[in-house]
């Protein structure tokens, strides 16, 4: 499967890809240990920020990584016919204080696939539901066109 072309995306193309998708992969690192999870997000193209709602349990690996305020990398991609596109954002994951929420901020989380607030059938006191913002220091995208073998 040879590559015919590989093109860097413009900032507008990066914003468009992030705006039309709601899921990606969040990777965190602590010491020499990596951790990656699928996530749902909302994206604000004006601020170029991603908004995440992450749920963890007391003994979860996710909670351990989040407590260490790690550097984060988010990857969002699409695969359509002979074209692949991906966006990678790198930066610090910032926890959002619930006391600082505004209607505008809540609207950003509302863009994510999972609703901001869920009603559980049973009480879930051990779940930690935290809101995060990732304003990437770097945000790049690439489109790759490949030549597929015809059968």
> pTM above the 0.75 mark?
yes
Alpha carbon distances (Å) from 136 to 3, 37, 44, 51: 28, 18, 12, 11
β-strand pairing of 3-8 with 49-56 = unpaired
pLDDT above 90 (res 2): no
The helices-and-strands tally (H runs, E runs) of the chain is: 3, 8
Q: How confident is the model at residue 102 (pLDDT cuts 50, 70, 90)?
A: low
- Name residues whose C-beta falls within 8 Å of residue 12's C-beta, 6 or more positions apart in sequence: none
Tens-place pLDDT, residues 137-148 = 999 999 998 876
Q: How confident is the model at residue 16 (pLDDT cuts 50, 70, 90)?
A: very high
Reduce the DSSP state of residue 90 to 3 states and report it: strand
Give the Cα separation of 132 and 96 in Å (integer). 5
Q: Mean of the per-residue pLDDT values for the chain?
A: 80
Query: Residue 101: what pLDDT?
Result: 66
């Amino acid at each position: 499967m040879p590559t015919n072309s590989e093109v860097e995306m413009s900032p507008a193309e990066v914003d468009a890809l992030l705006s039309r998708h709601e899921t990606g992969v969040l990777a965190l690192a602590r010491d020499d240990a990596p951790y990656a999870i699928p996530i749902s997000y909302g994206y604000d193209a004006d601020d170029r920020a991603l908004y995440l709602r992450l749920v963890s349990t007391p003994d979860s690996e996710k909670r351990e990584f989040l407590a260490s305020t790690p550097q984060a990398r988010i990857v969002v991609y699409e695969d359509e016919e002979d074209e692949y596109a991906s966006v990678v954002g790198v930066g610090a994951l910032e926890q959002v204080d619930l006391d600082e929420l505004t209607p505008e901020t809540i609207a950003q989380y509302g863009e994510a696939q999972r609703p901001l607030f869920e009603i559980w059938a049973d009480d879930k006191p051990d779940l930690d539901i935290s809101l995060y913002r990732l304003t990437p220091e770097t945000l790049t995208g690439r489109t790759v066109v490949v030549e597929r073998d015809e059968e």
